[in-house]
Structure 1
Amino acid sequence: MSSPPSSPRLADVADVGPAADTLASAFADYPWTRYVIPAEGYQDRLRALQKLYLHHAVRHGLVAVRDDPAQGGAVDGVIAVLPPRTPGPAPEAVARIVALHGDRIDRLTSGGDPEADWRLETLGVLPTARGRGLGSALTRFAIVEAVRRGARSMALETSDPLNVRLYERLGFTITARSKAPGAPPVWRMRTDLA
């Protein structure tokens, strides 16, 4: 008999390592991370970056995970959301981020208005857990929690057209699409929550 699926829950610092593993697996072939992270040591760099970003999000925003009871409680999905006016990472974290991106650091961009919207920074589901509605469940959970904390709108960026359809089903609309030479397309999306 299989265990019933668990609901998303808020994460804490103890969840950062397993959540970073999940995101590294989820983004292994993601167009944007392949573009902004050097190929040499890609998977290790990706995991280290996810860990840095998750530590920041746990401290300043919210991170939610879903534990898969069929896999002994392993994290199979992660979402991180930051409120407006979130302080930047500490100087030592910034130095580490720059080093991990190496000569591709100039490929990073910033979209949206960090003063106005909550930002859905990352959403990742293990490849073996895709197609079961977990991304939607995590996003809904994060939206409810963000609204509870005063969110009135949320914005995000994605480089995958499948993600665009997911977010549109959840009420987000496209506000812009960009395509720099050699880069994957980036869709900016936003939704009003109030």
Structure 2
Amino acid sequence: MSTRPAPLLAGYGIRFARPTESGAVAALLARAFADDPVMAWMIPAADRERGIARYFRLAQRQQRPRAGAVRVAATGGGRLLAAALWSGPGCWKPAPVRELAVLPRYAGIFGLRGMRRAGEVQNAMHEAHPQPPHWYLPSVGTDRGLQGMGVGSALLAQQLADCDRLGQPAYLESSNVTNLPFYENLGFRVTAEIRLPGGGPAFWPMWRDPDPPAGRPTRRDASGGSGERRRPTR
């Protein structure tokens, strides 16, 4: 499988987000996640998009101290087309002191009922999170009207190519079943289906083994087996 970026539309490229763009990144991701089942389950319907934007502003603050940080697809004029939050190996979980410091702000976003649900989501994700070192993709989104044009693939392919070069796996959770084929085309495989309690929606952990460099035997070639990727040890 190749992780070369999809052909770029004229006038944009992939780069790290600037600190001054945190609001624009949050607004873009809020639009991308406006219909996300898990977000809809956690955040009250009233002014949901604004609540999601507030959530992603906080998520970026938690993310920026980590290796990889925030990457964007952006035009030369500064318009953001897609954004991805990455964490490097061993850096996926914020320090407890950082999590405690932002709890009051998360409570203001989710409200009483949503905060309980957000805690259930976090607990389920932490329990499912694999232990082997890996790059973690907690959130990625493409702006409205640009899905299916290769922008999201190009944004992720840059980091995935680095994963292949370094021999490092990657991991994410998809909260929308319709997005599974998109990630599968990038080499991810579903490892489980996890349904949230109380009739909540499901999410799907997905793991990606690095592609070997050209000339190195693939797993199938080396083993003589079916080449089916194993699920990560948890």
Q: TM-score, normalised by structure 2?
A: 0.72
**Match of residue 16 from structure 1:** 22
Quick one: which of 90, 98, 116 aligns to 1:106? 116
**Match of residue 42 from structure 1:** 48
Q: Structure 1's 43 and 17: CA in aligned 2 closer, same or farther, altered over 3 A?
A: same
Matched, 1:81 2:72: no
Matched, 1:92 2:101: yes
Larger radius of gyration: 2
Q: How many residues align?
A: 189
Matched, 1:63 2:63: no
**Match of residue 208 from structure 2:** 191
CA contact (8 A) 1:11 1:58 kept: no
Give the drift of 1:35: 0.8
SS at match of 1:176: coil
**Match of residue 126 from structure 1:** 143
Q: CA RMSD in A?
A: 2.2
Gaps of 5+ in 2: 1-8, 212-234
The AA in structure 2 aligned to 1:175 is T
SS at match of 1:136: helix
Matched, 1:177 2:193: yes
SS at match of 1:123: strand
| Shift >4 Å, 4+ stretches | 145-148
Report the more deviating stretch, 21-30 or 108-117: 108-117
Give the drift of 1:147: 6.2
Q: Alignment identity in percent?
A: 26
Find the aligned partners of 2:164 and 2:23 in 1 and give their Cα distance.
27
Find the aligned partners of 1:78 and 1:26 in 2 and give their Cα distance.
10
Query: What whole-Å deviation, never above 9, does each CA across 1:132-173 have from its counterpart, x for those lacking one?
Result: 01111111123235667x672111111222211011010111
Q: Structure 1's 39 and 115: CA in aligned 2 closer, same or farther, altered over 3 A?
A: farther
Comparing both structures, which one devotes a greater share of its residues to strand? 1
Gaps of 5+ in 1: none
